Amino acid sequence: MAFKPISKITSTAVLLPVDHVDTDQIIPARFLKATSREGFGKNLFNSWRFLSSGEPNPEFVFNGPNGKGEILIAGENFGCGSSREHAAWALHDYGFRAVIAKSFADIFQGNALNNGIIPIVPKPGYYNELVDLVSKNPNIRIQIDLSEQKVEIYGHTGLDFKFDINPFRKECLLKGTDLVDFLILKRETITEFERNL
């Protein structure tokens, strides 16, 4: 298994409603020295999380009381820039299992799905209300039900919404498999196909 299977996520959300966050901001290029997925979380948003002195930046949300959770609420075009898969690795290693954003860069969206992160785009009108609610109630809990493709905000049923996801990618997330795992699981079918070709 590439990652732990995902069925439901229940967590507070970390609010980072910034548009056009690129992959170099998510994980700066100077930290791309490893080829395994582990260990990148400590450098997630490094240039924003830390001052030039190396001390935590008190102004950055990750360093505050509401800086942890399994859900990140981002802005528009999240994950733009280079195609580095390390951005998804860093988010997952830090503990995020879902990102809710206005929109995602295509390559980042694919990388997220392949690394145990659900990218969710709310229907028009929901995003601003969700950001406003979480900013006023940072301890509010959100549940993401992957099987039902539904986001529920505890105590605020009017903000519940459904989200779209590719059925194949959904199945992979539910099983904790990436594309390579999927092919390995189909080894016998592939071998049989080649035998009959």
- Convert the pLDDT of each residue in 125-180 to its tens digit: 899 999 999 999 999 999 999 999 999 999 887 889 999 999 999 999 999 887 66
User: What does pTM read for this prediction?
Assistant: 0.89
76 and 19 Cβ atoms separated by less than 8 Å: yes
pLDDT, tens only, 17-50 = 999 999 999 999 888 776 667 789 999 999 999 9
130 and 100 Cβ atoms separated by less than 8 Å: yes
21 and 103 Cβ atoms separated by less than 8 Å: no
The per-residue pLDDT for 38 is 76
Q: Which domains does the chain have, with CATH numbers?
A: 8-196 (3.20.19.10)
Cα distances (angstroms) measured from residue 143 to each of 44, 52, 64, 189, 191: 24, 37, 22, 37, 41
